[in-house]
């Protein structure tokens, strides 16, 4: 009888192994692949291989389970920031806009939401800078600058009385200076490193605006306080 039980248990071992392989085993393998891709992305960023880094972040996201909301948001933000360095500023801004909405809907950690808003506000600031240099209309670049300014102002108000507030206040001042600065003065300043590889920002933003007009998204109620930026813009700010 004992031998029969042992034999039956022995036969069940392959079944258990298969169940683990196609269940928790796959989850573990995916997590390991994601971790390797994250490490690879950071290494590529350290050597300023931004396009490859952005792809590595995308690969990491593909291996991150859908229920790991916080990790997925962090990976997508890292990818979007890498895209800015890679010269894809308008595309990264669009990605950050969606990411901000997603983080709010998921009620993500306030600190993470603030970080996402920070990157978005930073990108708007850089877009305004570049669009002025590219000869964009006042309406075009001012729209970007005003968006950044509102983000900075709201975040400064949100964090009033904390160590973060002073940084947001400096960003607000930097954006106001950008709006008031004479074009000739702006042309004499070095480009911020983060966006130095970005080209044709005006044309790309126009194409995005045209696409949105032709394919409007369903209207949603938006949080009027959604804005932010943690690091002071570099290069003449």
Mark whether 22 and 103 lie in a shared domain: yes
Pick from 80, 108, 136: which residue ends a domain?
108
Among 108, 142, 175, the domain boundary falls at: 108
Q: Which domain holds residue 22?
A: 11-108
Question: Does residue 27 share a domain with residue 51?
Answer: yes
CATH number at residue 82: 1.25.40
Is residue 83 in a domain? yes
Q: Averaged over 2-9, what is the pLDDT?
A: 53
Residue 18's pLDDT is what? 44
Highest mean pLDDT among 18-27, 140-149, 156-165, 206-215: 140-149
Q: Count Cβ atoms below 10 Å from residue 112 Cβ, excluding itself.
A: 16
- In terms of domains, do 61 and 139 share one? no
Q: What is the C-alpha separation between 72 and 66, in angstroms, rounded? A: 8
Residues 94 and 136 in one domain: no
Q: Are 62 and 138 found together in one domain?
A: no
Q: What is the pLDDT of residues 180-216, one digit of tens each?
A: 999 999 999 999 988 889 999 999 998 888 777 777 6
Whether 91 and 130 share a structural domain: no
Residues 36 and 94 in one domain: yes
- 149-168: string of b/e by CB count within 10 Å (b at 16+)? bbbbbbbbebbeeeebeebb
* Beta-carbon count within 10 A of 123 CB: 29
Q: Is 218 a member of any domain?
A: no
- Give Cα 179 distance to the centre of its chain: 24
The string of pLDDT tens digits covering residues 77-111 is 999 999 999 999 999 999 999 999 999 999 999 99
In this prediction, residue 229 has a pLDDT band, given cuts at 50, 70 and 90, of very low
Rounded to two decimals, the pTM is 0.78
Do residues 98 and 126 share a domain? Answer: no
Last residue of a domain, one of 188, 206, 228: 188
Higher pLDDT, 228 or 187: 187
Is 69 domain-assigned? yes
Q: Is residue 216 part of a domain?
A: no
H and E: helices and strands count for the chain:
10, 0
Q: Which residues touch 162 (CB under 8 Å, ≥6 apart)?
A: none
Structure tokens, 202: 């005006």
Residues 48 and 74 in one domain: yes
Q: 196 lies in a domain?
A: no
Per-residue pLDDT band for 26 (boundaries 50, 70, 90) equals: low
Q: Which residues contact 75 (CB under 8 A, 6 or more apart)?
A: 34, 38, 57, 60, 61, 64
pLDDT category, 234, cuts 50, 70, 90? Answer: very low
- Number of domains observed in the structure of the chain: 2
Phi, psi of 87 (to 5 degrees): 95, 15
Residue 232 is assigned to a structural domain of this protein:
no
- Shared-domain flag, residues 101 and 143: no
60-73 b/e with 16+ CB inside 10 Å = b? bbebbeeeebebbb
Tell me if 141 sits within 8 A of 131, measured CB to CB: yes
- The answer to whether residue 54 is domain-embedded is yes
Q: Domain for residue 3, yes or no? A: no
- 132 and 95, same domain (yes or no): no
d(CA 231, CA 81): 13
């Amino acid at each position: 009888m004992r031998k029969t039980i042992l034999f039956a248990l022995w036969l069940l071992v392959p079944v258990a192994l298969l169940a683990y392989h196609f269940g928790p085993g796959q989850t573990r393998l995916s997590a390991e692949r994601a971790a390797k891709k994250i490490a690879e992305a950071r290494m590529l960023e350290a050597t300023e291989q931004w396009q490859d880094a952005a792809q590595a972040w995308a690969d990491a996201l593909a291996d991150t389970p859908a229920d790991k909301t916080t990790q997925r948001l962090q990976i997508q933000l890292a990818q979007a920031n890498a895209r800015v360095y890679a010269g894809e500023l308008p595309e990264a801004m669009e990605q950050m806009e969606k990411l901000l909405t997603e983080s709010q809907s998921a009620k993500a950690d306030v600190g993470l939401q603030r970080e996402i808003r920070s990157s978005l506000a930073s990108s708007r600031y850089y877009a305004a800078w570049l669009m002025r240099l590219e000869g964009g209309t006042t309406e075009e670049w001012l729209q970007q600058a005003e968006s950044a300014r509102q983000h900075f102002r709201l975040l400064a108000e949100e964090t009033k009385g904390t160590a973060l507030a002073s940084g947001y206040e400096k960003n607000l001042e930097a954006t106001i200076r950008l709006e008031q600065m004479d074009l000739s003065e702006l042309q004499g300043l070095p480009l911020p490193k983060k966006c130095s590889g970005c080209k044709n920002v005006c044309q790309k933003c126009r194409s995005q605006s045209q696409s949105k007009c032709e394919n409007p998204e369903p209207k949603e109620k938006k949080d009027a306080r959604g804005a932010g930026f943690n690091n002071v813009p570099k290069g003449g700010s």
